[in-house]
């Protein structure tokens, strides 16, 4: 997989598009997954540099996916950006996630962060 591959796991289509566009603008190749169960399978196949993860997902929730990423040695270098509207939840996950983004997430904000990450990764 490419060094510049980002996986976006978000069930809201519009928000997923915005995240995807922001990451594309930062120079990433992107793939969008709308369903937790699909994401669970896909994460066994690919090795993304960045995962933008929504916590409220159908079938398998974001917490579970975060745990899966963190226990898979193959994904050691994957940066996880958790997107949530819940500040309390954000605080709880601050150890496991690389970055917590409090919704609403601005396009510019995400693009800037992804650019910064892309630089430190290479």
Q: Which residues bind another protein (CB under 8 A)?
A: 12, 14-15, 17-18, 21, 25, 85, 87-88, 91, 103-108, 111
Nearer to another protein, 2 or 109 (CB): 109
Residues 6+ apart with CB under 8 A from 43: 7, 51, 65, 68, 69, 72, 75
Nearer to another protein, 34 or 47 (CB): 34
CB of 121 to another protein, least distance (A): 23
d(CA 103, CA 51): 16
> Are residues 23 and 50 in contact, defined by beta-carbon separation less than 8 angstroms?
yes
Nearer to another protein, 46 or 89 (CB): 89
């Amino acid at each position: 997989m490419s060094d510049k591959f980002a996986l976006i796991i978000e069930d809201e289509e519009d928000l997923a598009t915005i995240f995807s566009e922001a990451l594309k603008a930062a120079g990433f190749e992107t793939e969008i997954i709308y369903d937790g169960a699909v994401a669970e399978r896909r994460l066994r196949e690919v090795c993304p540099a960045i995962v933008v993860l929504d916590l409220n997902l159908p079938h398998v929730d974001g917490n579970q996916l975060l745990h899966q990423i963190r226990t898979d040695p193959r994904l050691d270098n994957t940066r996880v950006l958790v997107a949530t509207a819940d500040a309390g939840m954000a605080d709880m996950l601050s150890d496991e996630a690389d970055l917590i983004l409090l919704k609403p997430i601005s396009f510019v904000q995400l693009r800037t962060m992804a650019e910064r990450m892309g630089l430190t990764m290479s």
